Amino acid sequence: MHRVLWVTEHYPPSKGGMAESCDRIVRGLRGAGVAVDVAHLTRRARPWRVEREQGGLLITAPLEDDPEHALRRLLGTLARSAGEYTHVVAFGGTYAVLAAPVYAAVLDVPLVTLLRGNDLDTGLFSLRRRPTLTDALRASARVCTVARSHVPLVRALAPDAPVTFVANSVDTGQWEVLPSERAAARAWRAGHVEAGRRTVGLVGVLKNKKGIGFFLDALRVSGHAGRFHLLLVGEVEDGVPAWLAERPEVHHTFLPFLERYELPRVYASCDVVALPSFYDGMPNVALEAAALGVPLLASDAGGLADVVDDRIGFPFAAGDPHACRAALDAAARLPDAELAKLGAAAADRIARDFTPAAETAGYLAVLRETAR
């Protein structure tokens, strides 16, 4: 059976979608019988320690202000287990991608590199990160992406690298809206959203790549600003609050960044969730919202193209303002009954095609195919 050294900067108790995805994939592999030792290159001030989790070890390696020291110290710890590992996996992040090829070479095992959205999208054009990324891709026995459109980007940097697409997932058996959360959503709408307006959710770390400013401009020009109430949840890019403050015709509510378990009531408050990204991986928000029956108004950036079509929402070409306005127009005009059908189809698609079982099977196949 495989024993994997999993090198990552994103693992609980770290927050955010990357840590959630990492935890989900590791739990899936451990549940399938793979021993996974996680080397967490944490940026928090935590003690260096090795502890046992169910299915493997957790090695906490604080980078602090001397990452080179932490990575070298970790190498000494890992060298004592030489001959026990079958693979090294790099799960995103600059230092994980830097260190994992070295660890794989020293341990003499195959390297598997799991790329998330930013690793590739911005790494391609980073003077600091691209050499590290290119070296890792070329050293990898397999590169895994969460978007089919990322495959040619990998091959542009490393033409000989074998690449596999493995989609993200959501466990619909554990992801639902409770009656109390639905009641809270109804109460929020009654107190904040005027009758006849549809609520559009924009959820997550809403940085530049997420296209929020672009989306707001498209909404303003579309003539449908009065048909929607925007619910912005999380951190927004600079300039968005001021833009909204100057345009009272764009009705909106800001909420702070919320933990994942707090999001079902947010999704239940929305008629549509918008993801107008210029580029992206496969956002958890898209899968989470769709799994709860919320149609998506989304660009075709990255893995969104693998999730969204006109049977579950309102897709448009990334960065195309005319296409975005057309999607907004369709979302404004669609009758309630038809909108509900899109939401039901979205929930069915996620439950069928984006399951943890399928995600785990994808990575198990990669480990099997790359094993020596």
Residue 174 counted as domain residue: no
Q: What is the pLDDT of residues 9-43, one digit of tens each?
A: 999 998 888 999 999 999 999 999 999 999 999 98
CB half-sphere exposure, 233, CA atoms < 13 A? 23
Q: How many domains does the chain have?
A: 2
The answer as to whether 163 is a domain residue is yes
Per-residue pLDDT reduced to its tens digit, 181-215:
999 999 999 999 999 999 999 999 888 889 999 99
Per residue in 342-371, pLDDT (tens digit) is 999 999 999 999 999 999 999 999 999 999
Ranking 80-89, 311-320, 343-352 by mean pLDDT, the lowest is: 80-89
The answer on 245 and 305 residing in a single domain is yes
Average pLDDT over residues 210-233: 95
Mean pLDDT of 103-130: 91
Q: Are residues 189 and 313 in the same domain?
A: yes
Do residues 53 and 147 share a domain? yes
Is the bond leading into 264 cis (omega within 30 degrees of zero)? no
Quote the pTM value.
Answer: 0.94
Predicted pLDDT of residue 1: 82
Residue 117: band (very low, low, confident or very high) from pLDDT cuts 50, 70, 90: confident
Task: Examine the domain organization and report whether 134 and 192 are in the same domain.
Answer: no
Whether residues 252 and 346 share a domain: the answer is yes
**Helix or strand (DSSP H, E) at 58:** strand 56-60
Q: Quote the tokens at residue 127.
A: 């003077």
Query: Is the predicted pLDDT of residue 44 greater than 90, yes or no?
Result: no
Flag whether 186 is in a domain: yes
Q: Quote the CA–CA distance of 53 and 50 in Å, as a whole number.
A: 10
Q: pLDDT higher for 149 or 45?
A: 149
Tell me, yes or no, whether 20 and 131 share the same domain.
yes
CATH of the domain at 291: 3.40.50.2000
The domain in which residue 132 lies consists of: 3-169+355-370
Domain contains 200: yes
State the CB neighbour count (10 A cutoff) for residue 200.
23
pLDDT at 32: 97
Same structural domain, 136 and 209? no
Q: Is 287:262 a contact under the CB 8 Å cutoff?
A: no
